[in-house]
Structure 1
């Protein structure tokens, strides 16, 4: 089965450096097939017959052993799951520029009490929509200027998260489908 694994906080701002080409070779040596990456920011693609739990355990062990990173959050998706997430991206405005759209992946469904306390209109023109373990984010003035970023959602929802822009998710889907 084909998978994409998003690793939180890898190769961001010079922190937690991982040579993605080397990581791909290491994963191939551990039995994963067609291992590749997109960008240096922790986006892996591969085929494997391992279960989700086995995949996460394998990557977690490798990151711990080879890089001494003990707490990297992994977000694992099959092609079908990632495609469904992509297809659910809401339209926030009629002339929405998809390059201003982002996907924030949560590692768990947040507590209802916490989600009820949030106001998705409080940061206009930036907007978000929370759907289970996903937060769809639209920032017409750019993600670098928004207050509704990964750390914001982690603080407010008490879950771990990672964010990818529209182009990255679209490219990952394209690579998974080929």
Structure 2
């Protein structure tokens, strides 16, 4: 049986550095024996099917292949359709009433607990808010991510130490659910 996955690449094609052309990424993933490879945007999303492996082993294989091909390391999180759909369905904010730029999900490589973020005083950042989910953090930023003080605070290295963390806006979250469900 095959499973459909999304690979989320962290920090590529931003500001002219760490370039990974999507056509090259599709070729690389196909060369790993993955099927039906498709990419979304230039910011590092690929969807594929695989009959072997699990999320962690597939992520490790892709990470290694990217470093060998492009000469720099790229953190990769792989998640299947069921997980991506469950994250979208569990959104604690009214996603259907918000613009995609106002809502983001940070996917983590492992579970996180509230204690990790205890130093952040939620009241100090209102109306911005965050909530934790299953290996995910939901972030509501009414004025967008670029001007968010809360997003800046949440991105502090000590808060994500030992984890891979990569964020996507709500439009991409929804698109990945669609792409992996097809």
Q: Which residue of structure 2 lines up, in the alignment, with residue 24 of structure 1?
A: 26
Residue from 59, 62, 77 that aligns with 1:59: 62
Does the CA contact (< 8 Å) of 1:154 and 1:161 recur in 2?
no
Q: Which residue of structure 1 lines up, in the alignment, with residue 181 of structure 2?
A: 177
Does the CA contact (< 8 Å) of 2:87 and 2:133 recur in 1?
no
Q: Quick one: distance in 2 between partners of 1:107 and 1:147?
A: 24
Alignment gaps of 5+ in structure 2: none
Cα drift, residue 82 of structure 1: 0.4
Q: Which residue of structure 2 lines up, in the alignment, with residue 103 of structure 1?
A: 105
Written as runs of structure 1 = structure 2, the 5 A alignment for 1:135-174 is 135-149=137-151, 152-157=154-159, 158=161, 159-174=163-178
Alignment gaps of 5+ in structure 1: none
Change (3 A) 1:137 1:111: closer
Cα drift, residue 26 of structure 1: 1.9
Q: Quick one: distance in 2 between partners of 1:142 and 1:112?
A: 24
Q: Which residue of structure 2 lines up, in the alignment, with residue 124 of structure 1?
A: 126
Cα drift, residue 117 of structure 1: 2.7
> Alpha carbon RMSD of aligned pairs, Å?
2.2
Question: Is residue 72 of structure 2 the alignment partner of residue 69 of structure 1?
Answer: yes
Q: Residues 19-47 of structure 1: CA distance to partner in whole angstroms, max 9, x if unpaired?
A: 11111012112211000100011101000
TM-score under structure 2 length normalisation: 0.86
Cα drift, residue 134 of structure 1: 1.1
Q: Secondary structure at the match of 1:148?
A: helix
Q: Quick one: distance in 1 between partners of 2:17 and 2:157?
A: 21
Residue from 70, 76, 79 that aligns with 2:81: 79
Q: Secondary structure at the match of 1:125?
A: coil
